[in-house]
Amino acid sequence: MTPFVVDLGFGEESILQGLTEANIVGRGGSGRVYRVTFTNRLNGAAGAVAVKQIRTAGKLDGKLEREFESEAGILSNVWHINIVRLLCCLSNTEAKLLVYDYMDNGSLDKWLHGDALAAGGHPIVARARSARRAPLDWPTRLKVVVDAAQGLCYMHHICVPPIVHRDVKTSNILLDSVFRAKVADFGLARMLAQAGAP
């Protein structure tokens, strides 16, 4: 496999070892997502990442290949506090892996609709800490909406060329440990060609 990013304190081996049934946190149309823990080899701290596995074996479907290329291509060139951060990607003929920051509070749909919907929702989500949780209060909901809007505004108005997500929904809005919202799942996103560009 070939990583595309600088050393982030974890290695390819720790990522691959973490791809076990016990670590699955979600399943989506394009594959599974795992919560992989590691010990940072730079400072010894414990950490976790979300690993989206596009395919486990065999020939990769053309549609999934395009989604992988789209997500990796778009997120490798984008940085915003309200867009999920792609740390690296690993690719070979049998598997395509996208490694993201792990979002401790999972997806917005889990907080709005409960874990039953989240089970079939976004794959890059945290495990439920509890089947029962207090609903989000209104100030937190407002903060989440503003955060998501800022991420989308960045994509539409600041990125060159602009990026259209094409699949914005509560399961594609992820929440970090302090409930900061981040837009995720760019498999269907498209970069818009600039007017007059060849």
* Residues with catalytic roles: 167
Cα-Cα end-to-end distance for the chain? 34
Q: Token pair for residue 190? A: 């498209």
Q: Which helix (H) or strand (E) holds 174?
A: strand 173-175
Structure tokens at 44: 């010894």
For 153, the enclosing helix (H) or strand (E) is helix 138-153
Among 115, 114, 116, 103, residue whose Cα is nearest residue 172: 103
Binding residue ranges for ATP: 52
Structure-block tokens of residue 147: 């955060």
d(CA 58, CA 36): 23
Per DSSP, 23 falls in state G
Distances 151 to 84, 94, 137 between C-alpha atoms, Å: 9, 33, 21
From CA 149, how far away is CA 173, in angstroms rounded? 11
Binding site: which residues?
52
Is the Cβ–Cβ distance between 99 and 86 less than 8 Å? Answer: yes
